[in-house]
Amino acid sequence: MNVSRNSKQFFTTQLVDWHHTANDRSLPWKQEKDPYKIWLSEIILQQTRALQGLPYYLKFTEAYPTVKALAKAKDEDAFRLWQGLGYYNRCKNMLATARIIAGELKGKFPQTYEGLLELKGIGPYTAAAIASFAFGRHNAVVDGNVYRVLSRYFGIDSPIDSTEGKKEFAGLAQELLYKNDSAAYNQAIMDLGATVCTPASPKCSDCPLQKHCTAYKQELTTLLPVKVKKTAVSTRYFHYVLLTSGDKLWIRKRTESDIWQNLYEPYLVEHTHSLDVTTLAAHPSYKALKLKAVPEYEGSLKQRLTHRIIETRFFNAPVKKGTQLPELQGEWVPVSALKNYGFPKTIVSFLEKKLYF
Ligand code: SF4
């Protein structure tokens, strides 16, 4: 890449100017100086779009207005508020970090990029965001929006998911940072990527960088940024057997290191492909229940995660009075109390349809 100093200066100046005159992206965490709220918003927004994350941010800041309040939260309550956002490890790490900050660090966030990086669940992007927005430090943020704007404007085709590419973009972002107001610059580049230099159909005619933008001049916007890895999407097939007895449903907590860790679910039979009533009834995990009745098909739902599709089928299996189930690691919960438990989004949708919620 051979970029003139003028082109870099133009980039920074135009960007900051656009931020002060035309950037009308309004989100409640913008202008925020409280490191707790910045951190919370950044954790919620990892792998989540701003509009989807917004109600979660509002719910969390209302329930837990300070890091000390979050540290005192019961895991169950926090997971329930998180329900629907996915990637539950984020919530788990967030609670662990809140407890370290409230305890060992006496409620104070570290004020440097390096200090923030030492905390669990805080990576380079979040550390730079907190350091610059809360403490005015000169650390450039690099997220998907920043990669896109930089690769297009400067015409860089180094893969953004390669070690070399990451280093190159991080170095350039740091070099371009407007030191008089790092927070404004960081906000500006992220907002420009989110609202103008969008992944599909960027609004180049509204862009303050158009005059010197390489991708615009050379018609490369659809080719940049470049990624090396194409992520394979695999499908998992979950069959939920709804064991019911009177007004109670049997559920268990997913404790394994897998998707939906710490959330609840009915009795699960996972298989390499989809099962129907007959093949499910013959499956060893179903047979282990020693139920006399054949399961009844209730419906199916599909959920797409980043690298995975979860195909879920639900089956009814009422347990007759006096039936001896094998010892199961779970609990019988009255249907009216199910709303007090955290479930994955797919299960919530199904239970809602069944009017359990
Ligand atoms: S001119 Fe178009 S491609 Fe270039 S930075 Fe602006 S929106 Fe992105």
**How much of the chain is helix, strand and coil, in % rounded to 5?**
45, 15, 40
DSSP-derived pairing of the beta strands 308-318 and 264-265: unpaired
Which range of residues forms the domain containing residue 314? Answer: 234-353
Kindly give the parts of the chain with pLDDT less than 70: 1-3, 5, 230-231, 306, 322, 355-357
Q: How many residues does the chain have?
A: 357
Q: How far apart are CA 68 and CA 273, in angstroms?
A: 46
- Whether residue 318 is contained in a domain is answered as yes
Using CA atoms, how far residue 296 sits from 131, 313, 316, in Å, is 55, 11, 5
- For residue 349, the CA-to-ligand 1 centroid distance in Å is 39
Q: Which pLDDT belongs to residue 230?
A: 67
Q: Are residues 106 and 195 in the same domain?
A: yes
Strands (E) located in 126-280: 234-245, 248-253, 264-265, 267-271
Q: Give the position, in ligand 1's atom list, of the atom nearest the Cα of 196.
A: 7
The number of domains in the chain is 2
**Which residue among 15, 189, 210 has the greatest number of ligand 1 atoms within 8 angstroms of its CB, and so is best to mutate?**
210
Q: Which pLDDT belongs to residue 160?
A: 95
pLDDT in tens, 153-186: 999 999 999 999 999 999 999 999 999 999 999 9
Q: Which pLDDT belongs to residue 157?
A: 92
CA-based nearest residue to 192, from 176, 179, 180, 171: 176
| Ligand 1 pocket check for 148: Cβ under 6 Å | no
- For residue 197, the CA-to-ligand 1 centroid distance in Å is 5
Q: Are residues 169 and 35 in the same domain?
A: yes
Q: Which residues pair with 239 in a beta bridge?
A: 269, 313
Q: How far apart are CA 36 and CA 51, in angstroms?
A: 20
| Ligand 1 pocket check for 153: Cβ under 6 Å | yes
- Whether residue 223 is contained in a domain is answered as no
- Whether residue 57 is contained in a domain is answered as yes
| Ligand 1 pocket check for 209: Cβ under 6 Å | yes
Helix (H) / strand (E) containing 265:
strand 264-265
pTM score, whole prediction: 0.71
Q: Are residues 303 and 186 in the same domain?
A: no
- For residue 306, the CA-to-ligand 1 centroid distance in Å is 27
CATH of the domain at 293: 3.90.79.10
Q: What is the DSSP letter of 226?
A: -
Q: Are residues 122 and 204 in the same domain?
A: yes
Q: Would you name the residues annotated as active-site residues?
A: 42
- For residue 48, the CA-to-ligand 1 centroid distance in Å is 23
